[in-house]
Structure 1
Amino acid sequence: MTLIFKIVPRSLWQTAIQEGRFKGAPVDLSDGFIHFSTADQVRETAQKHFVGQENLLLAAFDTDALGEELKWEPSRGGALFPHLYSDLDPASAVWVKELPLGKDGDHVFPELGK
């Protein structure tokens, strides 16, 4: 199993759970796909796009479960990032954990394994 990660505001995730689908955050909707990061990319994603933000969650997904709608495409520095070209069932998350801010202002990541 290969895990990829989505950083998401708690309020958007709660709405997704109630509706039974996650259409994406505003940046996802604008770009036409749901942005994910690998374990090696997710900390930089947090630093680049979520600096200082509170009430965030980190959701992990199995790449195999996302099917053919998951594409690996070049982004920052030519690195391949996972992009999902469909809505996402929040129940398909392997796990969802808090992503709090530490005293230094950086997000404190949980163990990224299963």
Structure 2
Amino acid sequence: MHIYKILRTSEWEDLRARGETQGAPIDITDGYIHFSTAEQARETAAKHFAGAEGLYLAALDPDRMGDALKWEPSRGGALFPHLYGPLRLKDVAWCQPLPLVDGVHRFPDGFA
């Protein structure tokens, strides 16, 4: 099982260059890094990244994050994964572009 993080191009480039990040501005403000499950990722893209180009979808192994990863209620009581610590490049299983096609983000083939 993977959890997912939608990253802007600059955020992905920064993570690759530094090896870790504290996340996007909203993550820093909230005090944790927001992730989505496969079932939540499309809604996250539509709600928080509507119309945004230059995005990437990173898949991460939650088992590598240890106790810093917490599952907490959010939208409508659904549990979302939140990381209370840095996002490390070594925890990224894969990362692919998330292009905007006809106003909708196109997720990789075979994505849930």
TM-score (norm 2): 0.95
CA deviations on 1:63-110 (whole Å, 9 max, x unpaired) are 11111100000000000000000001113200000000012x010001
Runs (4+) off by over 6 Å: none
Does structure 2 conserve the Cα–Cα contact (< 8 Å) formed by 1:3 and 1:39? yes
2:72 and 2:79 map into 1 onto residues whose CA distance is 5
Segments of 5+ residues of structure 2 without an aligned counterpart are: none
Which position in structure 2 is the counterpart of 1:9? 8
* One-letter identity of the residue aligned with 1:108: R
Residue 22 of structure 1, CA deviation: 1.5
Residue 20 of structure 1, CA deviation: 1.4
Residue 39 of structure 1, CA deviation: 0.3
Counting only pairs closer than 5 Å after superposition, residues 56-75 of structure 1 correspond to structure 2 as 56-75=55-74
* One-letter identity of the residue aligned with 2:105: H
* One-letter identity of the residue aligned with 2:101: G
**SS of residue in 1 equivalent to 2:101:** coil
* One-letter identity of the residue aligned with 1:32: G
2:59 and 2:21 map into 1 onto residues whose CA distance is 14
Q: Percent identity?
A: 54
> Could you say which structure has the higher strand fraction?
2
Give aligned pairs, total. Answer: 111
Which position in structure 1 is the counterpart of 2:53? 54
Q: How large is the Cα RMSD of the aligned pairs?
A: 1.0
Which position in structure 2 is the counterpart of 1:25? 24
Segments of 5+ residues of structure 1 without an aligned counterpart are: none
